[in-house]
Amino acid sequence: MSSYAYTLLIPLIPFFVFVCVGMAEDKLKGKLGGLIGTAGLGIATFLSYYTAFKYFVADHVAGTGYTSLKAFELTWLHLTDKLTINLGILIDPISVMMLVVITTVSFMVHIYSLGYMEGERGFARFYAFLSLFSFSMLGLVLATNLFQMYIFWELVGVSSFLLIGYYYEKPSAFSAAKKAFIVTRFADLGFLIGILILSFNTGTFDFKELTNPHGVAIASMGGAAFMGLSVITWALIFIFIGGAGKSAMFPLHIWLPDAMEGPTPVSALIHAATMVVAGVYLVARLFPVYALGGPDALHVVAWVGGFTSLFAAVIATTQTDIKRVLAFSTMSQIGYMMLSLGVSGYGGEEGLGFMASNFHLFTHAMFKALLFLGAGAVIHAVHSNDMNEMGGLRKYLPITHMTFLIACLTIAGIPPFSGFFSKDEILAAAFNSNKILFGIEYFVAGLTAFYMFRLYYNIFWGKDRHYHHTPHEAPLVMTIPLMILAFGSVFSGFLPFHNLVTSDGLGFESHIDWMIAIPSILVGVVGIAIATVMYKKETALPDKVAGTFKYMYKWAFHKFYIDEVYLFVTKKIIFNYISRPVAWFDRHIVDGTMNGIAGLVQFASVSIKGLQSGRVQQYAFVFVTGAIALVLIYVYVL
């Protein structure tokens, strides 16, 4: 058990980097701050890989399942004997997997940013915030209990707020940061309420106790019902609201597209691979509770996930800002993961969806980070986010082009790239559970292939635009991370997830069901083919298609006007019709009433001002008589 105590260093190293680089920001010349940050994360990455090797291979006794163990734990607050809050480190398959995901992507982003952020104002500050984010995210996945998770959950929120708002001189950037923080905080209130209900009913925050399928916590979860669902189900739905906020599930997704205002490496780290999957991780972390304690909540997860994946994919087909296309694509893919958890059962092959979700989380982190960093290299070259100002870039950016193509094929689900394997497992899980959701996901798979290749052709094919200067390939410090992530995207599909990350820790047999896989490949190919016809050469075809579906296109292009609805509710209704009148009410009615009482008193005092004689004896007499009278009234009358 204690042989994992060193894992404490994994979150603590980034934290110390944050403190040191943050304090010494002004004194760190040139790239020094960045190099310190990168070195720190390099060590954390190494330790994470070592932990993964140790946990999955070296310490594993063949034929047994993977257990969860606490590497470290201390009591942070001892409030009462019933309420104690611990901080610790939990090692189990999903947390170890997340360690690998987070440190890999974060390390790549650290290296990449040495080139991408070169010469930016506050270079060291950027690295301080990156380290803070990595610390918070690592603390979140390693949490041993719900409360610790909530603490780091909020810290993740604030560090992402700082990173999105990095270009704070730009009003749009800070507005986006604020929006992200407030929307997720709204969701976090749901999370907090869910935690309170759950722990109130089970008497513990601890994950090991909560998720033990034979434990007291799950056994005690029948209990009281409210509006047709058990209280635990409600708690789990509330907790899912928190997860939906961070993971940008409909209708709490509105912050994610705007968050693209942040620097592109930040988008790769936060909005592709780590923070946005926190919601998935949360549901996965509590999965036995969902599956055994509140299956109805799991249906909510499945449908929200399924709907979001469709909704976001439709929008992605119409966007022209390349980062926004990727943002909606992320939403859609996370929808897949949520859906997959939602249709999963607990234990053995029943838990296929659970395994598939984590598998897809892993492969998605690789290829989506690659896509974002590739997009960053493109933006670096042409100084624009708009795909209409791009074209023909494959000649100028050969490495970016190749790696981007690999990522597109991966996300489109073409074998033998990793996305094929993980998506296939999700489709299989959906097929076993719910045919409607299964149908939606097939359709989304086609849409995904289509919009990704629309993006790809618009950037790398077609005619050259009028570039201010000839676009040039990014420096090695940026292209090496691209190549490493491309390697991960290609090969991570061969990892035996069904033996490693399962709902009950035991491996099970898994094989590719070609009855599902072949149609899914065909759907992907069809999507790519349509995109090739429409976008490989610049023709009038896309405009014609858009014209045919004029209204649908317009709605999708405007993201179904969800932002406008929110804006209407917050600006118009809350600000104008609630806040303003309440302020008026306060000044005039409440204060007016109080002044009115005072006025009455004054009126009375004017009427009896004969008493105002200036003789102290008279005052004293009146005062004493009054006090005695009051006492007598109290004693005898009341």
Partner 1 sequence: MFMGFLISVPLVFSLLLFATKDYAAWNKKIALAASLVTFVISVGILLQYLANPSGYPAFHPDIFRSLGFEFSLGLDGLSMLLVMLTTFLFPIIIYSGFGKEKSHRSSFFGLILLMEMALIGVFTTTDILLFYIFWEIALIPIFFVAILWGGENARAITFKFFMYTLVGGLFMLAAIVYLYVQTPGPHTFAFSEFYKVVLDPHAQKWLFLAFFLAFAIKIPVFPFHTWQPDLYFTAPTQGTMLLAGIMLKMGVYGLLRFVLPLFPDALNDLGIYAILLSVTGIIYASVIAIRQNELKRLIAYSSLAHVGLIAAGVFSRTFYGLEGAMIQMISHGVNIVGLFFCYEIIVRRTKTGAISSLGGIATKAPVFAAFFMIIMLGSISLPLTNSFIGEFLLLLGLFEYNAWLAAIAGLTIILGAVYMLWMYQRTMYGEVKEATAGFTDLTRQEIIVLVPIVAIILWIGIYPHLFLQIAEPAVRSILVIHP
Chain residues binding partner 1 by CB under 8 A are: 77, 79-80, 83, 150-152, 154-155, 158, 165, 168-169, 171, 174-175, 178, 181-182, 185-186, 188-189, 192-193, 196-197, 200, 574-575, 578-580, 582-583, 586, 590-591, 593-595, 598, 627, 630-631, 634-635, 638
* Of 83 and 436, CB closest to partner 1: 83
The minimum distance between CB 362 and partner 1, in angstroms, equals 28
Identity of the residue numbered 600: L
CB 173 within 8 A of CB 165: yes
Burial 574-588, CB ≥16 within 10 A → b, else e: eeeeeeeeeeeeeee
Between 539 and 593, name the residue whose CB sits nearer to partner 1: 593
Burial level of 538, CB count in 10 A (0-12/13-18/19+)? Answer: middle
β-pair partners for 75: 86
Q: Which is nearer to partner 1, 154 or 258 (CB)?
A: 154
Residues in Cβ contact with 551 at an 8 Å cutoff, skipping those fewer than 6 apart: none
- DSSP label of 3: G
> Which CB sits closer to partner 1, 545 or 631?
631
Count other C-beta atoms under 10 Å from residue 551's C-beta.
Answer: 7
Rounded to an integer, what distance in angstroms lies between the CA atom of residue 184 and that of residue 259?
12
Question: Residue 39 or 583: which CB sits closer to partner 1?
Answer: 583
* Least Cβ distance, residue 133 to partner 1 (angstroms): 15
Dihedral of the CA atoms 6, 8, 11, 13 (nearest 10)? Answer: -60
Distance from C-alpha of 351 to C-alpha of 500, rounded to nearest angstrom: 13
CB of 150 to partner 1, least distance (A): 7
Q: How far is the CB of 116 from partner 1 (least distance, A)?
A: 22
CA distances from 270 to 49, 219, 391 (A): 21, 37, 28
Instruction: Considering the complex, state which of residue 131 and residue 333 has its C-beta at the smaller distance from partner 1.
Output: 131
Instruction: Please name the amino acid found at residue 191.
Output: F
Reported for 85-89, long-range contacts at CB under 8 A and 24+ positions apart, including other chains, are 85/145, 85/147, 85/148, 85/205, 86/144, 86/145, 86/147, 86/148, 86/205, 86/206, 87/144, 87/148, 88/142, 88/143, 88/144, 88/145, 88/148, 89/4, 89/7, 89/8, 89/142, 89/144
What is the spatial distance between Cα 321 and Cα 568, in angstroms, rounded to a whole number? 24
Give the nearer residue to partner 1 in terms of CB position, either 416 or 599. Answer: 599
Tell me how far apart the alpha carbons of residues 374 and 363 are, in angstroms, rounded to a whole number.
Answer: 16
Q: Which is nearer to partner 1, 386 or 586 (CB)?
A: 586
DSSP string, 204-272: --BHHHHH-TTSHHHHTT---EETTEEHHHHHHHHHHHHHHHHTT-TTS-THHHHGGGS-HHHHHIIII
User: Of the two residues 65 and 596, which places its CB atom closer to partner 1 in the complex?
Assistant: 596
Please state the closest distance from residue 586 (CB atom) to partner 1, in A.
6
Shortest approach of partner 1 to residue 158 CB, angstroms?
A: 6
Q: C-beta of 216: minimal distance to partner 1 in Å? A: 21
Nearer residue to partner 1 within complex by CB, 67 or 593:
593
Least CB distance from residue 412 to partner 1, whole Å?
Answer: 39
Residue with smaller CB distance to partner 1, 120 or 543: 120
Residue 200 or residue 549: which is nearer to partner 1 going by CB? 200
User: 321 pairs with which residues across the strands?
Assistant: 386
Q: How many C-beta atoms surround the C-beta of residue 358 within 10 A?
A: 30
Measured distance CA(553)–CA(546) in Å, rounded: 6
601 by Cβ neighbours in 10 Å (0-12 / 13-18 / 19+) ranks as: exposed
CB proximity list for 530: less than 8 A, separation 6 or greater: 450
Q: How far is the CB of 15 from partner 1 (least distance, A)?
A: 11
Nearer to partner 1, 168 or 514 (CB): 168
Residue 521 and residue 617: Cα distance in Å, rounded? 102
| Least spacing, CB of residue 106 vs partner 1, in Å | 21
The CA-based angle 505-95-58, given to 5 degrees, is: 65
Distance CA 546, CA 366 (A): 32
> Quick one: 64 or 570, whose CB is closer to partner 1?
570
- Measured from the CB atom, the residue of 107 and 150 that comes closer to partner 1 is 150
Three-class SS string for 46-60? Answer: HHHHHHHHHHHHHCC
Least spacing, CB of residue 182 vs partner 1, in Å: 5
Q: How far is the CB of 591 from partner 1 (least distance, A)?
A: 4
Task: Output the six-digit token pair for 307.
Answer: 């709907």
CB of 276 to partner 1, least distance (A): 20
Minimum distance between the CB of residue 480 and partner 1, rounded to whole angstroms? Answer: 33
Name which of 9 and 578 has its Cβ closer to partner 1: 578
Provide the minimum distance between the beta carbon of 74 and partner 1 in the complex, in angstroms, as a whole number: 11
Q: Report in angstroms how near the CB of residue 296 gets to partner 1 at its nearest.
A: 19
* CB-based contacts of 190, cutoff 8 Å, min separation 6: 238, 239, 240, 241, 242, 245
The CA distance from 171 to 165, in Å, is: 9
Q: How does DSSP assign 367-427, residue by residue? A: HHHHHHHHHHHHHHHHS--BGGG---TTTT-HHHHHHHHHHHHHHTT-TTSHHHHHHHHHH
